[in-house]
Amino acid sequence: MITIDGSFGEGGGQILRTSLSLSAITGQPLHIENIRANRKKPGLMRQHLACVKAVAEICHGELDGAELNSQALTLKPGMIQGGDYRFIIGSAGSTLLLAQAILPVLLFADRPSRVVLEGGTHTMQAPIFDFFERVYLPCLHKMGLEIEVSMERAGFYPAGGGMVVLSVKPARVWRQLSLIERGELQEARVTALGSGLDQSILTDELKIFQAGLAGVLPWQALARDVESSGSGNVLFAELAYENLTELFSVCGRYGLSRKSVAKSAISLVKQYIGQGWVVGQHLADQLMLPLALGAGGNYLTGRPTLHAESNRQVIRRFLDVKVDFKKMSDSLCEMEVQK
């Protein structure tokens, strides 16, 4: 049994998700303690418990300690089985973080899978659906993986109620992924997404964003209303390069002005462009596990975050791979996974 201390590094949910995925894939029993010890509310929240139960169901595992607020649990994995699944978080917890926990497992299943996930699709402190669809998945496609995703209904905080459908075929061929250059910029887009809001909120966010970056890039702007169980808003900017697309999002919330939303998005874009990163730091954290499970690879990103270092340590506990951070400059690092 592998024991993981959930308090090290970033001390949050990513340690839990990576540990669960790797336990199921390798068949090695897992005991994790001090779950989310560095968070204001430690232990398993509803969305984390959904991840635990989903991974266990897919791998026919035995669980001990899988309950709300639990700070320790044990998973004894069994056989990974594909098929039709439905997992309901029951809150605005992120369906995309749940997808990132089960997706690696389903790649090692005995047959294709179709999974319906219900919860949040555009929430704070989690990848939004558009990032998952247009940034993360295309990188996995480059690795030879056959995965499709669709959003049937948006889910904003606090109502949730979103629905995402994930289709996954077992991995047949793994290709190396190398992202060292962005390539030529093909398109710059900014989208204000909303549900149940005055249209002026969306148009104002777009105007403020475009004005703040007018001297940097010409932007295509779009205001979109979507169906959702509750009101909500997110502004996201996409930079589509020859070799990858990056996306930067800011979720609106009560008490946060439209000007603040736009200025936060401007800051994220300027940081990415100015630092010279190819892979943004959020994507860098998320690509590490599929690279370690597959054929390896490398990418140019910023200095390692606590999330990245935590992920590396968990991966090395389960897999015999070499994960290196090579400092290129004060703001640049090459992350390399060697099999």
Q: Is 196 exposed, middle or buried (0-12, 13-18, 19+ CB in 10 A)?
A: middle
Nearest CA to 291 out of 269, 324, 260, 267 is that of 324
Structure-token pair, residue 204: 């104002």
96, 125 Cβ separation under 8 angstroms: no
H/E element holding 18? helix 13-26
- Give the integer Cα–Cα distance in Å for 296 and 338: 5
Name the pTM for this structure. Answer: 0.96
pLDDT for the residue numbered 69 = 96
297, 320 Cβ separation under 8 angstroms: no
**Cα distance between the two ends of the chain:** 23
pLDDT for the residue numbered 91 = 83
pLDDT in tens, the chain (339 residues): 999 999 998 899 999 999 999 999 999 999 999 999 999 999 999 999 999 999 999 999 999 999 999 999 999 999 999 999 999 998 899 999 999 999 999 999 999 999 999 999 999 999 999 999 999 999 999 999 999 999 999 999 989 999 999 999 999 999 999 999 999 999 999 999 999 999 999 999 999 999 999 889 999 999 999 999 999 999 999 999 999 999 999 999 989 999 999 999 999 999 999 999 999 999 999 999 999 999 999 999 999 999 999 999 999 999 999 999 999 999 999 999 998
- The amino acid at 8: F
Backbone angles phi, psi at 310, to 5 degrees: -65, -45
222, 189 Cβ separation under 8 angstroms: yes
DSSP three-state, residue 177: strand
Structure-token pair, residue 171: 């991995």
In this structure, the number of other CB atoms found within 10 A of the CB of residue 198 comes to 9
In this structure, the number of other CB atoms found within 10 A of the CB of residue 134 comes to 16
H/E element holding 270? helix 258-275
Name every residue whose Cβ is closer than 8 Å to that of residue 4 and which is 6 or more positions away in sequence.
Answer: 15, 19, 30, 31, 32, 33, 314, 317
Name every residue whose Cβ is closer than 8 Å to that of residue 9 and which is 6 or more positions away in sequence.
Answer: 15, 306, 307, 309, 310, 313
What single string gives the DSSP state of each residue in 66-97?
-STT-SEEEEE------SEEEEE-SSS-BHHH
Nearest CA to 80 out of 137, 132, 22, 136 is that of 22
pLDDT for the residue numbered 215 = 86
Distance from chain centroid for Cα 186: 24
pLDDT for the residue numbered 90 = 84
Catalytic positions: 307
- Give the integer Cα–Cα distance in Å for 10 and 39: 9
Backbone angles phi, psi at 23, to 5 degrees: -65, -45
